[in-house]
Amino acid sequence: MEKNGSLKGLAQSLQSMTDVETLKKEAGIAACKYVRSGMKVGLGTGSTVKHTVIELGRMIAEDDLEIVGVPTSLATEKLALEVGIPLVELSDVDGLDIVIDGADEYDPHFQLIKGGGAALLREKIVAQESKAMIVVADDRKRVDALGAFPLPIEITPFAHQATIRSLGRLLNCRVNCRMSGDNAVMTDNGNMIADAHCGPTISAPEAMEKNILNIAGVVQVGLFNNMCDVVVLAGTNGVETFVNPNGRIQ
C-alpha cells in the first residue's frame, strides 16, 4: 500500500511538472502577439522565454515575420541562431522596440527580481534600451512583496568577499557567493553572483537598488524597477495577461 501511494505521488508530481511546463510554453508563445514585422526585439533568458524565442523563429520561417533580435545571454544567442532569428549588436542599433524576458518574482507594482539565470547585467542593459518590456512567467513568480527569491547581485571577482560582507551589513541578511559545485558561478561578463537572502521584505525596491549600487564592488543588482509593462502569466487559470496601468503599453 505504501509503495502504491509513493508511485501515485510520483505520478502526480510528474503530471504537475508537465502541466507547468505546458503553461509556460503557452505563455511564452502568447507574448509573441506583441511583436510586429520591422521590430528590433530584445530576447530574454530563462525557461519560459525560451518558448518565445522558438516561436519567433517559427514565425520568421512560416509567417514571414521580419525582425532582428538582441540576445541577453550566450545561451539565448545560441538558441536564437538555431531557430533562425537574425541577430544584431545592441551598440549597432538605436534602441529596441520591445524586450520579452522572464522574471524570478514580480510584485503588485510590476517591480521585478531577475538574475536567477545569472544574466541580470545584460538583461538590464537590454531592458533599459527597450521602449517596452513584456515579462513571461508562471504564477509561482507572483508575490505580494519581493525577496523570497534570493536577490541576485552581480559583483566583481576582485575582493568579492569584502563586497559580500558590505552587502550583508547593508541589507542585514545572509549574503553568499553563488556556487556550482566547488566553483563560483561566473556570468557571461566574467563576474560573480552574490545572492542576498532578504526574505519577502522588500517594500522599497527603488531605494534598495540605489543603496546596493553605491557599493563599489557591485556591478549590477537584480531589481528591475519601473521597467515592466505587461506580464503574461501561466497559472491554474491558464494564460492571463496583466497590463501595468502606469506602463507604456495600454
Active site residues: 123
Q: Coil, strand, or helix at residue 26?
A: helix
160-171 and 205-213 helices, crossing angle to 10°: 150
Amino acid (one-letter) located at 207: A
For Cα atoms 62, 66, 71, give the angle at the middle one, nearest 5 degrees.
105
Torsions phi, psi for 69 (to 5 deg): -120, 155
CA angle 27-29-53, nearest 5°?
115
- CA-nearest of 116, 130, 132 to 33 is 132
Query: Would you say the C-alpha torsion 167, 177, 200, 145 has a positive or negative sign?
Result: positive
The secondary structure element, H or E, covering residue 16 is helix 2-30
List, in order, residues 6 or more apart from 20 with CB less than 8 Å away. Answer: 138, 234
CB-count exposure of residue 100 (10 Å: 0-12, 13-18, 19+): buried
